[in-house]
Structure 1
Amino acid sequence: MFSERLKQLRKSMKLTQKELAEKLGLSPGAIGLYEQNRRTPDIELLNKIATYFDVTVDYLLGRTNNPTTVRIEGDKLPKELREIGIEYLTIAKEMADKEIPPEDIKKIIDVLVNRNK
């Protein structure tokens, strides 16, 4: 899956293998091997590629089809959710460790904030 995603992302930005290699500090041959699924990047390079394309590593690896999905882990809830208060801790706890698209997080926050108005 990584090889397909890398190629698709590169092409979506209209980059050649050589151009992408230069941006990532790799050889064009390395990009070719990754896209042919003949070589696997280490975690450091996966992170670098994800950052460059502004996608998640999970997306690169095919664990999700949403490139911008965020994973909320326990106390790493968005600031807005933490500020809502103790009344909503149960909801926050249920959301912990779930994959929730950013637009859904915004909807949840909007509903919770406007509930007391």
Structure 2
Amino acid sequence: MDSFGKRLKQLRLNKELTQAQLGKIFNVTNVGVAKWESDDRFPDKGMLIKLADYFDVSIDYLLCRTDNPEAKTYKANVNGDEIEVEIHKNYPHDLSPEEVELLINQLRNVGFDVDKLIEKAKKEKNM
């Protein structure tokens, strides 16, 4: 199972950086990077944003909320069901759960079979 530390380590290795080199980029020690990678410590919000920007991934990817490094995960409650929607990280809008719910209802109102789409997405996720 993935963790923040495992993802960070893989991203660092993909860039062929040592812990010391990554630490220098972010003004932290190599020990600090090692603690992040072993999940002994966790960076603060500001550092998390910097790491996501540096590696060009979403914060949701770093936090293991999605396996797609380019997606941001939104949750909403639609008709009593909690659903998750992944939207490309460069989509220019930060959506609230209410806005996701409104968007889904608008899709339903113009004829999309949203329930069928949700079921299909659930099946694909479990494959």
RMSD: 2.7
Which has the larger strand fraction? 2
Are residues 1:34 and 2:51 paired?
Answer: no
1:22-101 alignment runs, 5 A limit: 22-70=24-72, 76=93, 90-91=106-107
The structure with the greater share of residues assigned to helix is 1
- Distance in structure 1 (CA, Å) of the matches to 2:72 and 2:58: 8
By relative contact order (CA 8 Å, sep 6+), the higher-ranking structure is 1
- Residue 108 of structure 1 is matched in structure 2 by none
Q: Give 1:76 deviation, angstroms.
A: 2.5
Q: What secondary structure, in the 3-state scheme, does the structure 2 residue paired with 1:33 have?
A: helix
How many pairs were matched up? 81
The yes-or-no answer on 1:10 pairing with 2:12 is: yes
TM-score, length-normalised on structure 2?
Answer: 0.57
What percent identity do the matched residue pairs reach? 39
Q: Secondary structure at the match of 2:31?
A: helix
Runs of 4+ in 1 over 4 A off after TM superposition: none
* CA shift digits 1:73-111 (9 cap, x unpaired): xx928xxxxxxxxxxxx34x99xxxxxxxxxxxxxxxxx
Q: Secondary structure at the match of 2:66?
A: coil
| TM score, norm. by length of structure 1 | 0.61
